[in-house]
Amino acid sequence: MAIGLLFSGQGAQQIGMGRSLCEHSKTAEALYDQANEVLGWDLKKICFEGPDEALTETKVCQPALYVQGYAIFALLQEQRKLEEFKAACGLSLGELTALAAAGVYDFSTGLKLVAERGRLMQLACDATKGTMAAVIGGSAEDVRAFCEEFDIEIANLNCPGQIVISGEHDKVMEAVAASKGRFKLCKPLNVAGAYHSRLMVSARDAFAQFIEDFEFKAPTVEVYTNVTGGRVSEPDTIKDCLVKQIVSSVRFEDCLRNMASENELSDFYECGPGKVLAGFAKRIDKTLNVSQVAEYAEITG
């Protein structure tokens, strides 16, 4: 059975994430121990115990999701559940985990990239006053026109009827107030900043310099980039997309549609906490079967 992998993005993190993996698997425990060494601080403790305020910080939750997602991938491999692994994609941060699973770089290299990405995005959040809101019930064209009115941007095209907007706090809140009667719902999100918008330009530029010297390989399976929603395979193009992704709209709907159709996939594992991507998949294409995997029992069951 051909399988695709989906990797969670920021916002999916939960206290306790990864605990059951480490309690039952030496492989997972070794990955978390290696992560602590690479990072120079105790990621494992924050993942397992919190507090929530610490785990929610961009510079913490991005490595947390990367390490758990990769550990799940490694354990699925051990359980021989990925013998027909064909393609991978992720939501924002999850794209970096997908690239590690596809062999573009090793676990440690990916973690270094994720840690710096998270640190730079945290700095950009701290230096700007931005926020985001979810728009429910609008077409991409309608939301794009709406954003132009208020000088804000589309951050995520998640699935039909769910689009996230991003920009300066006051402009986003002004847009939320003006949304009544235009969309089913426009709800502010509890986020630290305006991700995937021009407020992240400083993070993009610094990350472009940081990523330059890392060696990337061609992926061993098909991978899809949030920047275009299409396949990407050349190492230099992958690097370029990771840089652009910090300020670009996340085209998750296009990623999943193209990934499913081009590889004739109907079965997927969502690697990470929550069931966010499975929920998106149901609205994108009801024929897709997404099994959410976060706990050890869900891997071995």
Give the model confidence (pLDDT) of 214-259 as tens digits. Answer: 999 999 999 999 999 999 999 999 999 999 999 999 999 999 999 9
Residue type, 250: V
291 has catalytic annotation: no
Query: How confident is residue 269, by pLDDT bands cut at 50, 70 and 90?
Result: very high
The CATH number of 129-188 is which of 3.40.50.12780, 3.40.630.30, 3.30.70.250, 3.40.50.1370?
3.30.70.250
pLDDT of residue 112: 98
pLDDT at residue 190, as a whole number? 85
- Residue 301's pLDDT band (boundaries 50, 70, 90)? confident
Amino acid at 122: Q
Q: What is the pLDDT of residue 1?
A: 79
- Report whether pLDDT(94) > 90: yes
Write out the residue limits of the CATH 3.40.366.10 domain(s) in the chain.
3-126+198-300
| Residue 273 backbone zone (phi > 0: left; psi -120 to 50: alpha; other: beta) | beta
Mean pLDDT of 70-85: 97
Q: Which residue carries 């992704």 as its tokens? A: 245
**Which residue from 101, 37, 50, 99 is spatially nearest to 293, judged by alpha carbons?**
101
Task: Give CATH 3.30.70.250 domain extents, the chain.
Answer: 129-188
pLDDT of residue 115: 97
Looking at residue 293, its pLDDT comes to: 96
- Tally of CA atoms within 13 A in the half-sphere of 236 that contains its CB: 0
User: What topology does CATH give the domain 3-126+198-300?
Assistant: Malonyl-Coenzyme A Acyl Carrier Protein; domain 2 (3.40.366)
Query: How do residues 156-204 score in pLDDT, each as one tens digit?
Result: 999 999 999 999 999 999 999 999 999 999 999 988 899 999 999 999 9
Which of these is catalytic: 92, 166, 197, 249? 92
What pLDDT was estimated at residue 81?
96
Whole-prediction pTM: 0.96
Question: What percentage of the chain exceeds 70 in pLDDT?
Answer: 100
Sheet bearing 185-188, strands edge to edge = 153-159, 162-168, 130-136, 185-188
Q: Are 289 and 266 in contact (CB under 8 A)?
A: yes
Q: What percent of the chain has pLDDT over 90?
A: 97
Query: Which residue(s) pair with 284 in the sheet?
Result: none
Of the candidates 8, 25, 166, 196, the residue annotated as catalytic is 196
| Average confidence (pLDDT) over 67-84 | 97
Please say if 92 is a catalytic residue: yes
Higher pLDDT, 205 or 1: 205
